[in-house]
Structure 1
Amino acid sequence: MDPLIFIHIPKTAGTSFRLGMDAVIGEERVCRDYGASSVETSPIVKQWVKPGGDLWQFGCAFRAAGYQFLTGHFHAIRYAGLFDVAQMVTFLRDPVQRVVSEYQHHVRNYGYQESLETFYRQKPNINRQQRLLGGVPWVGLGFIGITERYAESVGQFNRKFGFNVPILDKNQSRDSIAEPYRLTESQKTELERLNAEDIRLYRTACEQLDWRIRLEGKEQGYVAGAFMREERGRLLGWARAERGDDPVVLRLHVDGKPFIEVKACEYRPLLREKGVGRGGFLGFSVDITDLPKGAQVECTVAETGQPLVGSPWILKK
């Protein structure tokens, strides 16, 4: 099996997940990248993953050492040249709660003395989940779990990848991650405004987890896919089935009326470069030149009815 790359977004129960993987595959097969100054970071990361370092040599050393899992607080794009996006996994958490949890972590562990408002208004702490996944087609990640649905998510992960990761709770600051932090209305409103991109990402990931569970119950396969953009009178997107290698058949409706069926088998070089699947032959495009501006285009998997991310799409041109 290809190694998995875990993008450990801070305060998303990632430590519980990482320790669960340690227990299942053995710590000696887990490589860690938590920064050059961290005692947790593996020696080969400190040796090769640095300014002026040779990432290719890191990949060779990683495989030669028999590692099967890479974890750390890094941006997905850092390792996108070595590992396919389909090998990457992560957990997302309610953005408002995650920011407050990280603030409490800094106060407790690093002596942070500024106010919560000062912390959450700093640019590095705004839309952090989206930024850590930026630069790669996040929809194509091998798996995205939800912190608030941790046991459910780990169960889905185990069934997809054939592991038996235990359900651990290593949150040391509170009794349960299910207990939300209390905020004033003004704090909550400002946090939601600042982290609007993270909120959209989180809600979409929740919907996709719902579809995984629904399709599993019907013994049907999940499809990763999304609308991409409008270009030269065509609407472009992509789709990849997790089961098998046949192209996905998609059904499009315009303003609620049947429009066309297409196969997702066009070549997309960027998606090939990122390792999304099918060698990049997973794109589709439809002619929209005769459709009016503002028309609503829905796209679903013909076999299951699962909508693609970004559907419905409101035409701009």
Structure 2
Amino acid sequence: MKKPLWIFAHIPKTGGITMRGIIDSNVPSNQIYRYPLHQNQEKMIRSLTSKQKENFRWVYGHCRYGVHQHFHRSYRYITMLRDPVSRVISTYYFICSMPTNGLHHKVKKMSLEEFVTSQDPRISAPLHNHQTRFLSGQNDPDLTLAMNNLNDHFAFVGITEMYPQSVFLLNQLQGWKQTHYSKENVTKKRPKRPDISEQLTNHIRSMNELDYHLYETCKLQLHQKIKSLSQSEKKELRSFIKMQD
């Protein structure tokens, strides 16, 4: 029986570039399909031959749930979820620090509060339940669909705030070596503790109620997986976390 295709649905600003690097270091380059960023994604996938598709073991990129439909074989998804307030703040500082980003020149003139409350759909859409949107595979975020997809088709969900633990469990799942990994795409100009009011924090939370349900559910499941590790595995996990310092 042919091995399933693994798909990393990389939700922006969840630590996905680091995760891509981990996949790159464990899977031959010609067996990875890197989902393109530009507008011709669907056209490019359709242009792949059957033989090319058969050769891929992994797909990764900013692809929502549903990209498996192009490959006509069994599949398993993985993803990373992040605290929604942290993800929104990170998105702001990332755009401000990236002159090549299409929204950079507009956003760099905004305060964080102006960014969060912007009515520009190019800005506001990714700030409203975007993690649910990715996992439901719909333009309108659908929590029930996202939860069903998670339960049925996601073999692994990591948590950005528990990154070493997430990588350890993914390595274990895939049979990869537990080695040091490099943190990639960390926004350098972001303050360690952004000065954000409680009112704005609550506003971001209210914009992302569906995402918080997803996040808290998957975070609890990750804690439970760690709790169920054997004593020797827990010791190995502690060593792995120290290795990353």
CA pair 165-48 structure 1, distance change in 2 beyond 3 A = farther
Q: Report deviation, 1:81.
A: 6.3
Q: Distance in 1 between matches of 2:215 and 2:125?
A: 19
CA deviation string 1:217-242 (max 9, x = no partner): 389xxxxxxxxxxxxxxxxxxxxxxx
RMSD of Structure 2 on Structure 1 (CA): 2.9
Q: Which residue of 2 aligns with 1:193?
A: 206
Q: Which runs of 5+ in 2 are unaligned?
A: 118-123, 138-145, 233-245
Q: Which residue of 2 aligns with 1:117?
A: 113
Q: Distance in 2 between matches of 1:81 and 1:46?
A: 9
Matches within 5 A, 1:59-70: 60-64=50-54, 66-70=55-59
- Quick one: higher RCO (CA 8 Å, sep 6+), 1 or 2? 2
Q: Which runs of 5+ in 1 are unaligned?
A: 39-44, 220-317
Matches within 5 A, 1:149-188: 149-164=162-177, 166=179, 167-174=181-188, 179-188=192-201
Q: Report deviation, 1:171.
A: 3.5
Q: Distance in 1 between matches of 2:159 and 2:39?
A: 29
1:204 aligns to what SS in structure 2? helix
Q: Which amino acid aligns with 2:113?
A: E
Do the aligned partners of 2:93 and 2:189 also contact (CA within 8 Å) in 1? no
Q: Report deviation, 1:197.
A: 1.0
Q: Which amino acid aligns with 2:35?
A: D
Do the aligned partners of 1:59 and 1:82 also contact (CA within 8 Å) in 2? no
Q: Which amino acid aligns with 1:87?
A: R
CA pair 161-36 structure 1, distance change in 2 beyond 3 A = same
CA pair 205-63 structure 1, distance change in 2 beyond 3 A = same
Q: Which residue of 1 aligns with 2:92?
A: 103
Do the aligned partners of 1:36 and 1:46 also contact (CA within 8 Å) in 2? no
Q: Report deviation, 1:181.
A: 3.6
CA pair 171-124 structure 1, distance change in 2 beyond 3 A = closer
Do the aligned partners of 1:89 and 1:143 also contact (CA within 8 Å) in 2? yes
Q: Distance in 2 between matches of 1:215 and 1:70?
A: 29
TM-score (norm 2): 0.73
Do the aligned partners of 1:30 and 1:69 also contact (CA within 8 Å) in 2? yes
Q: Distance in 1 between matches of 2:32 and 2:190?
A: 27
State which of 13, 16, 24 in structure 2 corresponds to 1:14: 16
Percent same amino acid at aligned positions? 26
Q: Which residue of 2 aligns with 1:310?
A: none
Do the aligned partners of 2:90 and 2:190 also contact (CA within 8 Å) in 1? no
Matches within 5 A, 1:75-154: 75-80=64-69, 82=71, 87-109=76-98, 110=101, 111=104, 112=107, 113-121=109-117, 122-135=124-137, 137-140=149-152, 141-154=154-167
Q: Distance in 1 between matches of 2:92 and 2:49?
A: 34
Q: Select the structure that is richer in strand.
A: 1
State which of 35, 44, 53 in structure 2 corresponds to 1:33: 35
1:170 aligns to what SS in structure 2? coil
Q: Which amino acid aligns with 2:229?
A: E
Do the aligned partners of 1:97 and 1:181 also contact (CA within 8 Å) in 2? no
CA pair 48-173 structure 1, distance change in 2 beyond 3 A = closer
CA pair 99-11 structure 1, distance change in 2 beyond 3 A = same
Q: Report deviation, 1:183.
A: 1.3
Q: Report deviation, 1:193.
A: 0.9
Find the structure with the greater CA-based Rg.
1
Do the aligned partners of 2:7 and 2:75 also contact (CA within 8 Å) in 1? no
Do the aligned partners of 1:16 and 1:168 also contact (CA within 8 Å) in 2? yes
Q: Which amino acid aligns with 2:53?
A: R
CA pair 218-87 structure 1, distance change in 2 beyond 3 A = farther
Q: Report deviation, 1:164.
A: 2.7
Q: Select the structure that is richer in helix.
A: 2
CA pair 62-76 structure 1, distance change in 2 beyond 3 A = farther
1:9 aligns to what SS in structure 2? coil
Do the aligned partners of 1:120 and 1:126 also contact (CA within 8 Å) in 2? no
Q: Distance in 1 between matches of 2:65 and 2:49?
A: 15
Q: Report deviation, 1:165.
A: 6.5
